[in-house]
Amino acid sequence: MGKVESLHISKGKHKERIKVECIECKKEYGIIGDSYAGKGEKQVSLIAAETIGDMGKCCTNSPKPGEFKENITTSGINLAQYPIGTRIKIGCSVHEISEVGKTCYLFCDIDGGENLVPYQLILYLRKLLKTARLQLVM
């Protein structure tokens, strides 16, 4: 069974993500208080902690949760298995996958640190189908 490892929001576009203990997911909007929320295709984003670990093998700065601009970091879930259009449940919230993958903007060791490495295991979620509160359980 998968687990939510961390939650993050952004207070402004292109700003660093802030780690939070809980988020409020609003139907057809995204995360309340997150600057990327709205009616668009990318209301919520998530990445597997395992992907962050894999990226740490080639990145010079050992990325941490939140640095990939994700809202939700998971573990124990094979995110690669889910195609666009799949509905997934996280806690009590239900989301639909709208996009898979993005470009890594952390400079890596490949090509002398000049190459931007694409990674595929970040999911963008739209059509938040059910309003719910997500809280980390420690």
User: Looking at residue 67, which CATH number applies to its domain?
Assistant: 2.40.33.20
pTM score of the predicted model: 0.80
* pLDDT value, residue 69: 80
Per-residue pLDDT of the chain (138 residues; tens, 9 = 90+): 788 999 999 988 778 889 999 999 888 888 999 988 888 777 888 888 887 777 766 666 677 888 778 899 989 888 878 888 888 888 888 888 888 876 655 545 444 444 444 445 566 676 667 777 777 664
* pLDDT value, residue 18: 92
* pLDDT value, residue 22: 92
Count: domains in the chain? 1
Boundaries of domain holding 93: 3-135
Distances (CA, A) of 58 to 39, 104, 111: 35, 11, 11
* pLDDT value, residue 123: 65
* pLDDT value, residue 7: 93
Are 2 and 9 in contact by the 8 Å Cβ rule? The answer is no
* pLDDT value, residue 39: 81
* pLDDT value, residue 19: 94
Q: Rounded to whole angstroms, how far apart are CA atoms 18 and 11?
A: 8
* pLDDT value, residue 121: 55
